Amino acid sequence: MTQNFPTLKNDRLLKAIRFEPVDTTPVWMMRQAGRYLPEYKATRAEAGDFLSLCKDTDRATEVTLQPFRRFDLDAAILFSDILTVPDALGLGLYFETGEGPKFKKTVRTLADVQALPKVNMATELDYVMKAVTSIRHALGGQAPLFGFSGSAWTLATYMVEGGSSKEFRHTKAMMYSDPQTLHLLLDKLADAVIDYLIAQIEAGADLVQVFDSWGGALAHRQFVEFSSNYNKKVVAGVKAKYPNVPVVVFTKGGGLWLDVQAQNGADMLGLDWTMSLQTARQVLKDNQKQVALQGNLDPATLYASPGDIRKHTHLMLSDAYALGDKTGYVANLGHGIQQWVNPDHAKAFIDAVHEFQL
């Protein structure tokens, strides 16, 4: 599988994940390619709509690289979506303008789960793999490339609800009234996620991130049983084939369960803004786990003035390094950048991270 990829010139992020010394803190932003950039909106308009943009190799490559022309980023992330997997499972993904994602079909009964096809993620999602390979070449070694997937639990919520949700009524009803059916669905999804991430690594991703965006909606025991256990399975599945490729797990609202998450085998855990990085590092130390951390500036901080963004960012970095380790940390927002943010404010955040003296 030699694809003659350009040599990586900036491996700061990979070093931080391995707890090796870094010259400065690596930084990137979740959703860094997106609607807050006018150039993204222009390229999306050329493609027609969001899904066509994901399927257009050249334009998906272009939007991934757009933030690099403005900011000094230490990682790129594949331009795609977590919902490509349920789409490949036959649910029929579509986006209504102004609304979130929707599916033509839902999965709510044992028969629905049993009817889900076993798909070959590498061939069925060929457009994703083509984008990964194209982006890796186009980056020219400027920064490592993240592949990604949704977690089994987060994907299940979209598939059972048929789209976005606040209460997760149908998914939680299934969880409490018919847990075996939900487990069967999660198990199938975890297998699909493993195949999907492995295919992305083979197409050129340097590392991968699992987005467990809705793990935080669960109660403690249910988080362990229905979310974290499947993240653990996914990490183990990827590591069985590619032990040296870093795997990152980001559970929004997951800080509360950092001790549980520390057992999931990930090299790095993402945090949202609700937890101090100093506390998070302490929890990992208390559990004798050397796991790197990523995060966790409140994305709304980018509505402050550039001077105040710098102050908040430096406070976050002071927390991250308070216990003495000067590595094992990647700066990021605590969730995706919002569409109303001024790109100059995103630049203030990224520059403030690099300015900070370790």
- For residue 120, the minimal CB distance to ligand CP3 (Å) is 22
Nearer to ligand CP3, 49 or 286 (CB): 49
Check 44, 108, 136, 310 and give the catalytic one: 44
Active-site residue flag, 35: yes
Element (H, E) at 162: none
- For residue 295, the minimal CB distance to ligand CP3 (Å) is 13
Nearer to ligand CP3, 48 or 100 (CB): 100
CB 286 within 8 A of CB 328: no
Task: Look at the chain and count its residues.
Answer: 358
Closest CA to 214 of 335, 116, 76, 103: 335
Contacts with 261 (C-beta within 8 Å, 6 or more apart), sequence order? 228, 231, 249, 251, 254, 269
Check 11, 108, 136, 158 and give the catalytic one: 158
Check 31, 112, 126, 127 and give the catalytic one: 31
Strand, helix or coil at 53?
helix
- For residue 19, the minimal CB distance to ligand CP3 (Å) is 25
- For residue 71, the minimal CB distance to ligand CP3 (Å) is 12
- For residue 287, the minimal CB distance to ligand CP3 (Å) is 26
Active-site residue flag, 178: no
Nearer to ligand CP3, 246 or 310 (CB): 246
Cα dihedral 192, 197, 199, 200 sign: positive
Report d(CA 352, CA 329) in Å as an integer: 15
Report d(CA 74, CA 247) in Å as an integer: 16
Contacts with 280 (C-beta within 8 Å, 6 or more apart), sequence order? 255, 258, 271, 293
Report the interface residues with ligand CP3, using CB under 6 A.
Answer: 30-35, 44, 50, 77, 79, 81-83, 100-101, 148, 164, 211, 213, 252, 336
- For residue 273, the minimal CB distance to ligand CP3 (Å) is 13
Active-site residue flag, 221: no
Cα 61 to Cα 33, 156, 177, 180, 334, distances in angstroms? 10, 28, 44, 41, 25
Question: Which residue type sits at 106?
Answer: T
Nearer to ligand CP3, 83 or 234 (CB): 83
Check 18, 70, 72, 81 and give the catalytic one: 81
Check 35, 94, 191, 298 and give the catalytic one: 35
Active-site residue flag, 59: no
Report d(CA 132, CA 129) in Å as an integer: 5
Active-site residue flag, 81: yes
Element (H, E) at 250: strand 247-251
Nearer to ligand CP3, 16 or 208 (CB): 208
Which residue has the closest beta carbon to ligand CP3?
213
Nearer to ligand CP3, 31 or 130 (CB): 31
Active site residues: 31, 35, 44, 81, 158
